[in-house]
Chain A
């Protein structure tokens, strides 16, 4: 339905800057994040994914530091 009214947005002067801002921002954040995520050491990942089972102590964290 909105597609029949979207052209009204496109008549705004310089409006293309908004999707470009969000696309570029998204692109940058997404690529940076992917790089960081894959650089995370396996040991950290294991510790993090075990957080829900770490029920009584944070000994794990201590040995980790």
Chain B
């Protein structure tokens, strides 16, 4: 058959490559900055202790770090690999150059918007889904552009069969769309403020359904696709077992649909299903570890190359990291290990094995290898790449190991009792100061890793300068002959399925949608099944404003609001949290990490003056605290201009505010603020320093109102529970 000539679009690959490097440096730099704040809490308070800069506080920078690394660094890295490999695997240029450019620039615009809005405190507070509703809409639009471009390319391909890497890309595109939309359903109340349509328990379930699967389908499946293309390419030998890769794919996407409801509803299962489930859980170690083994064994007979080729070194550590993280994940789902890991630094260490080793090293390897291909010149310095490898590997170890130690230390200190039944470390701060040396070592690990990555940036810039500037690569291939859509003689079912891409995509979609539905339906039903508690009432207008300040400052990044039913936690914090207490929490604010103590029962524990002084300078009330100062809360006027629309929005979501309450909201707010100011004036120190300023109009008053309300609903009427 006559061959056709065409050009691969290398320009778009290069664009994503530069973006990956740029955002990699930025994301890791912010990460290092927040890591340093654990050791030097006053690091960014260079404007004087009374003039702290709000957008440099930990609670606002931490989401910036996570979003930058996940969506900007790994996101661009995924697109870079997908745009390169898809064209070659399908023997065609991308479907449409304009769509490629819209995808690229749109994605960068989203990142810039995130980098501006998150430090400004415009956040929905839901982890890895913090962006506010206007940006969410743009994310969905750009994702659709990417999907059209990818499927368009698949449809105009010159290769009959689609390789396993492409299946992983297809699953990623579809699943992320479903997850993102469901978790980000919000009720906008102003241009940059919205409330999650779910509350409390339901919101938590939806959020962590998203959180868990986002790790699976944004940080795992696309990167596995890249592994299945780039590892064989670099090692110059086909994947160890193609059969295993098929099993790996279908199991991974089906596993998540099954594992989701299984984890949530395990005890509701009848005996036979439970037994089958247990057998399956054991069997399933085979395919997920099969993926790792498949990657590593692709290097069979090529291990000598690993010594010389830095790219392969990166791949070996990356795939090992994948194996470690996917082993640790199931371990952490065991009840007793989860009780240790949850809320501690163990989780932070665990995710960084995934991020630094699996994602970061996979991308680094791909970038080094592609630099030579894209600029048609040898790498500027192999030595530098090797240095990067060793700095990075040391960085990972220095990062993860101290945090594992810190995690176990925290968990055990939190639980330790004296013989008389009191807590050994009754003051939470003791458990913080104990692990500060670990935080210092973690920061060193981060520095090493970042230094290595900067070497990559230098190496690639030098390589690009020395190389050619040709953007398009000529290739030729015969167009596809029309053959029957039905199975031809001797053709296996899966082989046939692979060339029927539309059907394949539909099947994948059906797989994840059924999985999504069997998981989402119970989540939608759960709301009416939460036992209501008579004494739990909606927040007052002032508390609502205070809660929004709590969200804006990202307090949930360090403080949980969920007391587990453990003796040690009830002793430390008070009565354990009940599902019915959170029915008016749009969104839920349980947090995932206790850098500071739980605050669910903080209401009434301290007086208003304590909170005032603590926000102004945490070290004045709690020596050794690593919490930032929130001096701007005392200076900023409270902006309650959206109060009515916020309350009306919440009424739309089911909060029983009456019309009179909404009409009288501003007045009620002022009355409550005045009360708090009167309380504050009981302290002569306060009167001396702040007596002349109208504190009742400041943000601090709203925050105090919210904190004093927390967890008090059931304190007032304990009998309602029984």
Residues of A whose CB lies within 8 Å of any CB of B are 1-12, 15-16, 18-23, 25-27, 29-30, 33-34, 36-41, 44-58, 61-62, 65
Contact = CB atoms under 8 A, between A and B. Distances in A.
Main secondary structure of the interface of A (DSSP, over half): helix
Given A22-B514, A33-B247, A36-B494, A12 B338 contact: no
Interface string B190-230: 00000000000100110010000000000000000000010
B575 to A, nearest CB: 13
B466 interface: no
Nearest to B490: A41
Given A40-B494, A49-B238, A9 B229 contact: no
B134 to A, nearest CB: 30
B233 interface: yes
A65 B483 contact: yes
Contacts of B233: 52-53
Given A19-B264, A33-B246, 11 more contacts: A2-B204, A6-B264, A16-B265, A18-B519, A19-B268, A22-B262, A41-B490, A48-B161, A49-B242, A52-B89, A53-B236
9 contacts: A1-B343, A4-B565, A4-B577, A8-B529, A19-B273, A44-B495, A49-B239, A58-B159, A58-B480
Contacts of B531: 8
Interface stretch (B99-107, B248-256, B414-422, B643-651): B248-256
Given A2-B264, A34-B247, A57 B477 contact: yes
Given A18-B265, A22-B515, A48-B163, A57 B3 contact: yes
B529 to A, nearest CB: 5
Nearest to B265: A19
Given A5-B204, A10-B268, A16-B270, A58 B243 contact: no
B1 interface: yes
Interface in B264-316: 264-270, 273, 276-277, 280
A58 B522 contact: no
A52 B90 CA distance: 9
A32 to B, nearest CB: 9
Contact of B562 (A4, A8, A20, A44): A4
Interface residues of B, number: 87
A9 B266 CA distance: 10
B470 interface: no
A65 B530 CA distance: 60
A7 B273 CA distance: 18
B257 A22 contact: yes
B716 interface: no
> Which residue among A18, A19, A40 has the maximum number of chain B CB atoms within 10 Å of its CB?
A19
Nearest to A18: B518
Nearest to B279: A27
B564 A4 contact: yes
Contact of B232 (A10, A47, A52): A52
B48 interface: no
Contacts of A49: 232, 238-239, 242
A3 B247 CA distance: 30
Given A10-B267, A26-B254, A26-B257, A51 B204 contact: no
A51 B159 contact: yes
B270 A23 contact: no
